[in-house]
Structure 1
Amino acid sequence: MNHTLSRRALLLAAGAAGLAAAAPAMAEEVTGLTLSGPVPFSFDSLVATAREMAMKPFTPTPVRAAELLEKIDFDAYQQITFRPEDALFKGSRYPVRLFHLGRYFKSPVKIAIVEGGQSRDVLYDPEIFSFGPKAGAIATRLPKDLGFAGFRVHEGDTNNDWLAFLGAAYFRSSGELNQYGISARGLSIDTTASGPEEFPRFTEFYLEEKADALVITALLDSQSATGAFRFTCSRPKAVIMDVEARIFTRKDIEQLGFAPLTSMFWFTETNRRQARDWRPQVHDSEGLAIWTGAGERIWRPLNNPPRVMTNSFVDKNPRGFGLVQRDRDFRNYEDDGVFYDRRPTLWVEPRGDWGEGEVQLVEIPTEDEVHDNIVAFWTPRAAVKAGQSFALDYRLHWVDAEPYLSPAIGRVIATRRGNGGNPAVRDKATGYVKYVIDFAGGDLATRESTKNQAIPDITVSRGRVVGPFAIRVAGTDHWRIIFDLDVEGGEPVDLRAYLRTRDGKALSETWLFQHFPQQTNW
């Protein structure tokens, strides 16, 4: 199992060759685009196609003009721009512009426009792109029916795009705060399994304009599974995507991941000493939030671990989960180039019952910010066999903060650690590690510290908790849990803490963390 790869590189280059459908003989020109003749289309027909494909072996089509596309490197690719006047649905609320193929996007995808139950393929034409000097010299030698790499959705006639499908089964949105960061995928296969990870691809897209939404229907294909997806996308303020996924398996699958999320985490105030960087924090997401089927709220700060780690959170019919960016204070990032303080939170809201399974969190070590090293997804409890089918519906929220917050439950706002013992007497000989967790919101603001109205409840998988207490932070409505951890050996320690009343009622979400002794050898 190789997890040293760049997940952002996978966004650009993963997957085998796609299925580029041949255009029918009839074609017509619409606003600069050349479209094939119409053929009947529906989501149900694409589901039937995916089901039939799953009964046959996977047969990828080889990449065409691979040597020429290899020459369209990063610099050349930056010279290629789609002409705005040729946008699909030009003049509408959500016009669409297309991505060209290149070194990192060699596998073509079919793109079609749907209207009145009929679809028409968009045919490749170099005239709908502008090419700089380097790219232009290569473009003249490319096939005239090359195809496209993907597409992005814009806000009216502006240059501001807010949704992009590009590479394998990845897609991203700039969300409520207009800043790209975290990615989603249609499906993940064997992310942490014993064999190599498999990267399914969206091979066909069908775009349909509605009065208040853009409907994107996509065909997914891979060695082990096929699928049909329908995304109903809107942007009233936040970006909302209603997803209907129909999956069919070709083979037994060791680990099938639904609604997978991919992000980047380097360091926060928790592990600041691990990074040799001037900025206070660097991450697209800072934690995994889960709202369990039983109603418990969980917050698990992300780690940059010493080795690949997988954590599983068993559940039944989860109400939601997501990779979250809670800290929105620019001063805690100080990066005015990429604006980590604006990166979207991505929340998965299951629609209907998903049954028994688990949210899996995968954390991969990184020494910089160019690698997407965090993955989270839902995986069913039962073994996945060849010939099975799955129907899952869910909503994706690309937002500032996770939705459906409880008005009564406090949330974690910071996790810090340092030397244990008493700093007033420079007591560093204990070997303890001190943890400080801050909570805010819910009913905590009404609690008085002097009356011991919030009790810390702390458990550890090994070792012992020393001197735990909770206190209201002076001059604020925040509460703080403080404790020392005394542990020997190098194996990870699972920590759990929350605030409760004397009679056991939860006042805060449950804080979970994985402690690595070798990362606190200061």
Structure 2
Amino acid sequence: MNRRELLTGAAAVALFAASARAQEQPKPATTPAQDLFADGSPFSREAVQDLARSLAGRGYEEPKGFLPQSFADLPIDVYRTIQPKPERAIWANDSRGFTLSPLPGGFIYRQPVRIGLVEDGAVKMLADETGWFDFGKAPQPQADKPFPLSGFSSRAAIDQPSEPRDFLTFQGATIFRALARGQIFGASSRGLAIDVGEANGEEFPLFRAIWIERPSQGSDALTVHALLDSRRVTGAYRFLIRPGEITTIDVELTLFAREKLGHVGVAPMSSMFLFGPNDRVGFDDVRGEVHRSDGLQIWYGGGEWVWRPLANPNELQISVFGDNSPRGFGLFQRERAFRPYNDLARRYDRMPSVWIQPIGDWGEGQLQLVEIPTDTDIHENIVAYWRPKAPIEPGKPFNMTYRMHWCWTPPDRAAGAGVVQTACGTAGGKRRRFVVDFQGEGVADPARAPAIRPNVSTSVGTIRDVVGVANPDIKGYRVAFTLDPSNEELCELRLTLETDAGRIGETWLYRWTA
């Protein structure tokens, strides 16, 4: 299964599925649905929850868009010429620290999103009109007809006090992106993932409506509410967003299932990995590395730290990491130098890492990593999320809370040593030579190197020629070894650094495929 087949099939299932039959739900909504879309109506998080509960008690209805056909067929380069008018930016003149701009429908953004502001506790809906935008090279739509909004972006003075710039976007299904000081957009997140990698296809929920609270004077936070809807589930979301050196997003979600959901992904992240020093077979490119993220970091509930480098496999790969009450996980961009990427246009070295910090006890479940084959850097072929063990049942609200860190370096990290490079190359025939570099306090002193023992193992095949030495150029430690897979097509590799006092730093895990 290739990337295009996976996405085409998933989109067909998610966006054009027949309506699901209604399921009984507890207590009717206490706030009529229409009240949240009427100017002057009172607003609260509980009202969004009531609306989501009410929708879950009815069958799913496909959203009805009114996007002109000429915009549904826009190529991406033309769509990008449509720009919000600066003079129409919301809150531009009241010194609130944030401004908002609606985003237009068009290109792949064909489902309308209703957007409202919350001021003094009351709703004020934004008009679906052409006046928000300069249409650039796109055709000029009729001014007297509604024009759909597809999301919003927000600006703040994240780098310089006098130079606000975009740091946050909500657009497309339940996708949102953020960045920290000095960064550019890279990895993305979603409100919810359903049936990722399943044979029946992935289901893509939508944010049907978004409400943004007007910040109080001097506030450093932006509060966003969203109504999620999908064939089998609805939900109410609250995002508390603080931009800065580390941009944090606190996410509170409440889900109401229309049907029993067995494969749900909480805190899903998407990114791109095309090639790197561990996996660049078949890529003849002036760039040494091409990725928005280069590894998955896991902090298990029991305390173990794991680093799993990403790969671009020949076939769809799903890796599962079981745990109970995880302490954190995320998709990281650890390589921060420009030269390995050698790309002035995309600047992968400035893209954020994303770290998820669970709040409360998440219980049993699995962290799932999905790696999808791709031959281009335009596809987000990496997905990671937490899958709770217990299914979500109709009639039982499902709640979770977590904090996202969009950052250069996450606030949590393994003590002692962390992996900074994984390189792989031929050792003759099917054999592969690996080089793994560690940095950190536990490996910085070359005099301690003789006391460190690399422990390397493989699920199948044979590990040979293991060498561990100090790497003074990086004030770290290097492990080199050869994998002989014999006739195997897949090997699960594991590497730890050990001393008489115990293990140092994080565990390196790697999946090699032929």
TM-score w.r.t. the length of structure 1 is: 0.88
CA contact (8 A) 1:447 1:454 kept: no
Q: What corresponds to 1:445 in structure 2? A: 444
Deviation at 1:5, TM superposition (A): 5.1
Q: Which residue of 1 aligns with 2:420?
A: 413
* Alignment partners' CA distance in 2, 1:508 and 1:61: 49
What residue is the counterpart of 1:31 in the other structure? none
* C-alpha displacement of 1:133: 5.7
**Relative to 1, partners in 2 of residues 1:143 and 1:353: Cα closer, same or farther, differing over 3 Å?**
farther
Q: Give secondary structure in 2 for the equivalent of 1:237.
A: coil
For the Cα contact (< 8 Å) 1:10–1:167, is it kept in 2? no
Structure 2 residue aligned with 1:507: 504
Whether the 8 Å CA contact 1:433–1:484 is kept in 2: the answer is: yes
Change (3 A) 1:66 1:120: same
**Which of 449, 456, 459 is equivalent to 1:458?**
456
In 2 relative to 1, CA 72–417 (structure 1 residues): closer, same or farther, beyond 3 Å? closer
**Paired amino acid for 1:234:** R
Partner of 1:152: 153
Match of 2:131 in 1: 127
Change (3 A) 1:368 1:68: closer
Structure 1 position 66, deviation (Å) = 4.4
CA contact (8 A) 2:102 2:132 kept: no
What is the count of residue pairs matched by the alignment?
A: 488
Partner of residue 28, structure 1: none
Q: Percent identity?
A: 34
d(CA) in 2 for partners of 1:194, 1:10:
9
Q: Which residue of 144, 149, 173 maps to 1:168?
A: 173
- Deviations, residues 439-484 of structure 1 (Å, cap 9, x unaligned): 001321135256x211111121011211223111245421011211
Judging changes above 3 Å, is the alpha-carbon distance between structure 1 residues 514 and 325 closer, same or farther for their aligned structure 2 residues? same
Corresponding residue number in structure 1 for 2:20: none
1:260, CA displacement in angstroms?
Answer: 0.2
Tell me the residue number matched to 1:434: 433
Q: Against the structure 1 CA distance between its residues 476 and 109, is the aligned structure 2 distance closer, same or farther, given a 3 Å change threshold?
A: closer
Matched with 1:55 is 57
Give the Cα–Cα distance (whole angstroms) in 1 for the partners of residues 421 and 410 of structure 2: 16
Structure 2: runs of 5 or more not aligned: 18-31
**Match for 1:399: what amino acid?**
C
Superposition map of 1:465-504 within 5 A: 465-503=463-501
Q: Given that residues 2 and 196 in structure 1 are in contact (C-alpha distance below 8 angstroms), is that contact kept between their aligned partners in structure 2?
A: no
2:339 partner amino acid: R
Deviates further, 353-362 or 387-396: 387-396
Provide the rounded CA distance (Å) in 2 between the counterparts of 1:289 and 1:248: 30
In structure 2, what is the equivalent of residue 213 of structure 1? 221
For 1:165 and 1:9, locate their aligned partners in 2 and report how far apart those are by CA, in whole Å: 24
Within 5 Å, which residues of 2 pair with 1:110-509? Answer: 110-132=114-136, 134-136=138-140, 139-140=141-142, 144-156=145-157, 158=163, 160-210=165-215, 211-406=219-414, 408-420=415-427, 428=428, 432-446=431-445, 448=447, 452-503=450-501, 505-509=502-506
In the alignment, the residues of structure 2 paired with residue 88 and residue 475 of structure 1 have an alpha-carbon distance, to the nearest angstrom, of: 51
After TM superposition, the structure 1 stretch with the greater mean CA deviation from structure 2, 387-396 or 143-152, is: 143-152
Matched residues in 2 for 1:133 and 1:294: separation? 55
Q: 5+ unaligned residues in a row in structure 1: which ranges?
A: 25-34, 421-427
Residue 38 in structure 1 maps to residue 36 in structure 2: no
The residue type paired with residue 103 of structure 2 is: F
Contact 2:2/2:316 (<8 A) preserved: no
**Matching residue's letter, 2:186:** G
Cα distance, 1:485 vs structure 2? 1.4
Give CA-to-partner distance per residue, 1:419-454, whole Å, 9 cap, x none.
33xxxxxxx47x53221111001321135256x211
Q: CA deviation at 1:90?
A: 1.6
Residue 248 of structure 1, CA deviation: 1.4
Letter in 1 for 2:479: I
Q: Which moved more, 1:232-241 or 1:368-377?
A: 232-241
Alignment check: 8 A CA contact 1:8 1:372 kept: no
- Report the AA paired with residue 153 of structure 2: R
